[in-house]
Amino acid sequence: MRNEMIRVITELAAEDPNLVLVTGDLGFGVFDGFSRDFPRQFLNAGIAEQNMTGLAVGMALEGKTIFTYSIGNFPTLRCLEQIRNDACYHGANVKIVAVGGGFTYGSLGISHHATEDLAIMRALPDITVVAPGDPVEAAAATRAVYQTSGTCYLRLGRGGEPVVPGTGRDFRIGKAARLCEGDDVALISTGGMLHNASLARQALVDSGLSVGLYSMHTLKPFDRDTVAELAAKYKLVVTVEEHTVIGGLGSAVADVLAQLPAGRARLKMIGLQDCFSCVVGDQDYLRNVYGLSVDKIVAAVQNLRDGL
């Protein structure tokens, strides 16, 4: 995902001299080409994310389009006040890019686990929140947030995520991507969990269930219409997110379902519960611990099979 984001930003910078990339002392190596080709459009703000965001807002209010970049919680939670008061409140054209969503940097502990960012960012007024599911969606999302006026949050994996068939065909901010249709279960994924959700879907289909797969790459504005449609069509809706279930995708879907008439689908939320991850390990290990591996997703759905 990260490499596709950088590729697209490089293409956009060649077309738009007002696009500026500001990094918080990260991205060395992957940004070498950009900084060489566009030295007047690249800044290293150092390990000072609050200053980075204030700087970005100042330039944005002078007509620039600014992409800020750092790891997970650093360009978001560390400078939340600047994002809220400076960027969002003034409608500044600042695009906040966080690499390493979820447990990407799992072995570094909770300071590097981005597991509350979506909930916190989508609670802010006047912000767009996007979490693409694979490299194809990451490229499309980067272009989309560039074209979207105001403050945007773009949450990425780190790199090496596989492409999921069917993504990117008609990427639109605020509209879920329909990758597969079914009749019994709707799997709705956000962010880097899309590949695991896709593999889990295939395993469930092989077991005899009819399962749809949807990428909810935009958390704000949220595609309430598609959720309402799925709630009427399916018996069970399952959300899958590498994030706390409080305030993230699961909560957003639950909010829609709670306002629908009786007869709607049941809801199962798969994600980190109300806790910090005190376990240390790589991303796959932590996904398994917290019920996000392919096998654990399949088992969670199978446990509810009798009600379908």
Reported confidence tier of residue 24, pLDDT bands at 50, 70, 90: very high
Q: Assign 163 to helix, strand or coil.
A: coil
Residue 277 DSSP label:
-
Reported confidence tier of residue 26, pLDDT bands at 50, 70, 90: confident
Mean per-residue pLDDT for 101-130?
95
Nearest residue to 202 (alpha-carbon basis) of 59, 267, 298: 298
Is the Cα torsion angle 140, 230, 208, 271 positive or negative in sign?
A: positive
| Average pLDDT along the chain | 95
Residues forming CATH 3.40.50.970 domain(s) in the chain: 2-156
Share of the chain above pLDDT 90, in %: 90
55 and 35 Cβ atoms separated by less than 8 Å: no
- Per-residue pLDDT tens over the stretch 133-186: 999 999 999 999 999 999 999 999 987 889 999 998 889 999 999 999 999 999
pLDDT higher than 80, residue 230: yes
CATH code reported for the domain at 177-307: 3.40.50.920
Mean per-residue pLDDT for 73-83?
97
CATH code reported for the domain at 2-156: 3.40.50.970
Q: Assign 152 to helix, strand or coil.
A: strand
Tell me, what's the pLDDT at 211? 97
The rounded radius of gyration (Å) of the Cα atoms in the chain is 19
Residue 21 has, within 13 A of its CA and on its CB side, a CA count of 32
43 and 23 Cβ atoms separated by less than 8 Å: yes
pTM over 0.85: yes
Which residue type, as a one-letter code, is found at position 183?
Answer: D
- Helices 194-206 and 294-302 sit at what angle, rounded to 10 degrees? 50
Rounded alpha-carbon distances, angstroms, from residue 132 to 19, 51, 307? 21, 27, 31
Neighbour tally for 91: CB within 10 Å: 14
Mean per-residue pLDDT for 252-281?
93
Tell me, what's the pLDDT at 243? 97
Say how far apart CA 128 and CA 125 lie, in whole Å.
Answer: 9
Reported confidence tier of residue 306, pLDDT bands at 50, 70, 90: confident
- DSSP secondary structure string, 169-234? TT-BTTB-EEEE--SSEEEEE-GGGHHHHHHHHHHHHHTT--EEEEE--EEES--HHHHHHHHHH-
Say how far apart CA 56 and CA 61 lie, in whole Å.
Answer: 9
Omega prior to 221 cis, within 30 of 0 = yes
